[in-house]
A and B are shown apart, each in its own frame.
Chain A
Amino acid sequence: MKLKALPVVLVLLFGLFATSVLAVSERSAAVRKNVTGTGTLIATASATPKVRGKSNLIGARLKACEAKANGITKKLAQLTKLVVKMEGTFDAIALRVENFYETKVVPSGKSLPNYSNLVADIAAKKALVDAALTKAQSLPGGFSCTEGDPKGLLKDYRTEMQAVKQALGDYRKSIRNLIVGVHTLVPTTTGTGTPEGSATPAATTTSSATPTAIPTSTPSASPVASPATTPTVSPTASPTI
Chain B
Amino acid sequence: MKKQKGFIQIILLAVIVLVVVGAGAYYLFTSKKNVGNEMPVNTGISAEFQGDYQMGATNAPSIKGGADLDKAMADLDNADLNQIDKELNALSADSSSF
User: Which residues of B lie under 8 Å from residue A84 when comparing CB positions?
Assistant: 45, 49, 52-53, 56
Interface size counted on chain B using CB atoms at 8 A: 49
A-side interface size class: 35 or more
Chain A residues positioned under 8 Å from B53 (CB to CB): 84-85, 87-88, 91
Considering the chains assembled together, what is the distance between the CA atoms of A169 and B73 in angstroms? 14
Q: Kindly state whether residue B35 has any CB partner on chain A within 8 Å.
A: yes
Distance from B42 Cβ to chain A, minimum over Cβ atoms (Å): 6
Q: Which residues of B contact A97 (CB under 8 A)?
A: 63, 69, 72
**Binary per-residue interface labels of chain B (30-68) against chain A in the complex, 1 for a CB within 8 Å, 0 otherwise:** 000001111110101110010011111111111111111
- Could you list which residues of chain A lie within 8 angstroms of chain B, going by C-beta atoms? 57, 61-62, 64-65, 68, 71-72, 75-76, 78-97, 99-100, 103-104, 130, 133-134, 137, 145, 150-151, 154, 157-158, 161-162, 164-165, 168-169, 172, 175-176, 179-180, 182-183, 186-195, 205, 207-209
- On chain A, the residues within 8 Å of B73 by CB distance are 176, 179-180, 183, 208-209
Q: Which residues of A contact B90 (CB under 8 A)?
A: 75
Asked whether, in the complex, the Cβ of A68 is within 8 Å of the Cβ of B94, the reply is yes
Q: Which residue of A lies closest to B74 (CB)?
A: A208
User: Is A57 a contact of B76 with CB atoms below 8 Å?
Assistant: no
In the complex, what residues of A have CB within 8 A of residue B64's CB?
100, 104, 192-193
B81 on the A face (CB < 8 A): yes
Q: Are B40 and A188 closer than 8 Å at their CB atoms? A: no
Q: Does B29 contact A (CB under 8 A)?
A: no
| 6 examples of A-B residue contacts, CB within 8 angstroms | A68-B94, A86-B56, A99-B35, A134-B44, A186-B66, A208-B74
A-chain residues with CB within 8 Å of residue B37 when the two chains form the complex: 96
Complex interface: chain B residues within 8 A of A186 (CB): 65-66, 69
User: Across the interface, which residues of B come within 8 angstroms of A165, CB to CB?
Assistant: 81, 84-85
